[in-house]
Amino acid sequence: SLVYYELDLGLNHVVRKWSDAVDPTANLLIAVPGGNDGPGGVLVCSENFIVYKDQEHADKRCALPRRRDLPNEHGLLLVASAVHRQRDLFFIIVQSEFGDLYKVTLNYQEEQVTEVKARYLDTVPVCNSLCILRSGFLFCASEFGNHGFYQFQGVGEDEDSPMCSSAALDEGDETVVELEPRPLQNLLHVDDIDSLCPVLDSKLLELERGAPPTIAALCGRSARSTLRMVQHGLAVTEMAVSELPGNPNAVWTVKRNRSDETDAYIVVSFVNATLVLSIGETVEEVTDSGLKPDTPTLSVSLLGEDSIIQVYPNGVFHIRADGRASEWKAPRGRPVVKASANARQLAVALAGGEIIYFELDAQGALAEVD
């Protein structure tokens, strides 16, 4: 049975207001917007039908369009739903156990519902949950396989789409409305979110000596079955591709200011040159970074709050935020071979075994410490 309860905020307890019998196959309840947004009440979903119910209101029973190849004795169940509200209207999307989506609308005057309609929308993989976003997208949390992200291209107003109405049942017309699944018409598939659900079997593999272990997993069901190779680590997204003039020796990223959330430059070192790429809407070469381009680079890092140091074989180049630069030259015949730096300190190793230590002073200059 369907039972209505009301929360009495004054007495801080729940009061049973009303109950009514429902179909024994009922498996899903959908709350209908009330107040200024709609007539209120609920939709009770059962085999083959959606029934609108409310206290002191006659039931409105609407059939569902069925697939043409579905036997008559096979009941059709709904498994997921989502309600979309706008300022002057609302509609409900429901999905059958075969993945067919229906748009359910209610015709009403004040709190009296006169008709319930269910129109075929599109077909997507069966979902555990549906979510309609205000930006015009539909997220489908799939029961098996990857989750889907779709953009609305239409809202099912095509008169050629199969539709059932409670008005037909009120008039005694029980003709079965058939549908034929079709390619997406009202939805555009935008993206997928990877999901292993359900993992039916898995094996731990060692594909290469010294490489991280790999899990081979059998996932999904039926036509959405997949074999997936899973490794421990973080996924990365390719944002840009830039061709390089040669084979680089090293690469760094560096910020302009320590408080910045993202890096500003990609510094690429070659045998006899340094390439600086700017990170923005695109990744492109720049020449105004202040870094020396005509020498290989051994180290690049942010020093202090907003200055950059570039260590190269013949010395150290210190670039401040206002564009001023200072340079320390390595002794003749003893180039810099290694370097390490933190926020305020720098150490460089010279050929022959000598280490030179620098610190950032109170004026923001890089000073050699004996």
Whether residue 101 has pLDDT greater than 80: yes
Q: What is residue 7's predicted lDDT score, i.e. its pLDDT?
A: 87
pLDDT band at 206 (very low <50, low <70, confident <90, very high): confident
Whether residue 235 has pLDDT greater than 80: no
Neighbours of 17 (CB within 10 A): 10
What pTM, to 2 d.p., does this model score?
A: 0.67
Q: What is the DSSP string of 266-319?
A: EEEE-SS-EEEEEESSSEEE-S-S---SSS--SEEEEETTTEEEEEETTEEEEE
Residue 74 tokens, joined: 């096979």
Q: What is residue 110's predicted lDDT score, i.e. its pLDDT?
A: 83
DSSP state of 258: T
pLDDT in tens, 119-143: 999 999 999 999 999 899 999 999 8
DSSP state of 168: H
Name the residue with tokens 């979309």.
Answer: 84
Residue 217 tokens, joined: 């997993």
DSSP state of 223: G
Torsion angle, alpha carbons of 155, 158, 160, 163, to 10:
40
Q: Could you give the CA distance from residue 353 to residue 285 in angstroms, rounded to a whole number? A: 36
Whether residue 219 has pLDDT greater than 80: yes
pLDDT band at 254 (very low <50, low <70, confident <90, very high): very high
Average pLDDT, whole number, for the chain? Answer: 91
- Distance of CA 292 to CAs 10, 273, 295, 297, 298, Å? 75, 8, 7, 9, 12
Q: Could you give the CA distance from residue 211 to residue 214 in angstroms, rounded to a whole number? A: 9
Q: Could you give the CA distance from residue 200 to residue 187 in angstroms, rounded to a whole number? A: 30
Average pLDDT on 95-124 reads: 94
According to DSSP, the residues that pair with 66 across neighbouring strands are: 178
pLDDT in tens, 144-172: 999 999 999 988 888 889 999 999 998 98
Q: What is the DSSP string of 42-74?
A: EEEEETTEEEEEETTEEEEEEE--EETTS-TTS
In this structure, are residues 50 and 62 in contact, taking their beta carbons and an 8 Å threshold? yes
DSSP state of 167: H
